[in-house]
């Protein structure tokens, strides 16, 4: 068994947790049975303690890693599928009474400045940002394009193919329905 004595630490901000075999790196340390961690090479390693680590950079700055192993599960519920179809709500002050309350867009990603999502609006050919959206993660840009092609004739009509049972066609029975016309008067 080889012993490695290296004081180099790679601070990976994208890591779920940091691991070190060097006990003397810790400024505070608590031993215990904390389960196992899967390493980058696929091997499992037993966690025998947790604590705080104080690192000093080449410039002399100190970097504190608090609770190197916390045991908290990470939530992924805010993550979305890139390129999926979304319905973006249009605020009341940005639309007229007869305009649609939402528009179909394509999810691009997350805005950097605020907690908002970024979308591509194919109608205006602009990128918009919003938080008030509904995601359709099972539908992609191709589905949105198919929907747009179906609306080519009339933007208010959608043509949807409906399967028809040709073995048992529905026959109209005469006299079962009464045909009426409406004029200026309502029949009594």
Domain positions in the chain are: 10-72, 84-150
Between 22 and 155, the higher pLDDT residue: 22
Contact 136, 144 (CB under 8 A): no
Contact 140, 85 (CB under 8 A): yes
Pairing of strands 62-65, 49-56: antiparallel
Least confident window among 15-19, 25-29, 41-45, 177-181: 177-181
Pairing of strands 117-121, 26-31: unpaired
* pLDDT winner (highest mean) among 126-130, 145-149, 177-181: 126-130
pLDDT over 50 (residue 128): yes
pLDDT at res. 89: 92
Q: Which residues of 53-77 are buried (b: 16+ CB within 10 A; e: fewer)?
A: beeeeeeeeeeebeebbeeeeeeee
Q: How confident is the model at residue 71 (pLDDT cuts 50, 70, 90)?
A: very low
- 19's CB contacts (< 8 A; 6+ apart) are 37, 39, 45, 47, 68, 69
pLDDT at res. 29: 79
pTM of this prediction?
A: 0.38
Query: If you average pLDDT over every residue of the chain, what do you get?
Result: 69
pLDDT at res. 188: 52
Percent of the chain exceeding pLDDT 90 equals: 4
Average pLDDT over residues 132-146: 77
* pLDDT winner (highest mean) among 8-17, 37-46, 73-82, 103-112: 103-112
Q: How confident is the model at residue 45 (pLDDT cuts 50, 70, 90)?
A: confident
């Amino acid at each position: 068994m080889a012993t490695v004595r290296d004081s180099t630490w790679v601070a990976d901000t994208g890591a779920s947790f940091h691991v070190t075999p060097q006990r003397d790196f810790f400024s505070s340390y608590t031993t215990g049975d904390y389960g196992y961690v899967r390493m980058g090479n696929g091997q499992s390693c037993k966690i025998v303690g947790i604590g705080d680590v104080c690192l000093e950079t080449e410039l002399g700055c100190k970097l504190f890693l608090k609770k190197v192993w916390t045991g908290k599960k990470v939530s992924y519920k805010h993550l979305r599928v890139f390129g999926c179809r979304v319905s973006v709500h249009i605020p009341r002050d940005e639309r007229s009474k007869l305009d649609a309350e939402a528009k179909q867009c394509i999810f691009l990603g997350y805005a950097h400045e605020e907690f908002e999502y970024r979308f591509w609006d194919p109608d205006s050919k602009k990128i918009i940002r919003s938080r008030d959206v509904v995601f359709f993660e099972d539908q992609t840009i191709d589905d949105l394009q198919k929907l747009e092609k179906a609306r080519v004739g009339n933007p208010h009509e959608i043509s949807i193919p409906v399967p028809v049972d040709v073995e048992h066609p529905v026959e109209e029975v005469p006299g079962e329905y009464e045909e009426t016309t409406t004029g200026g008067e309502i029949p009594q």
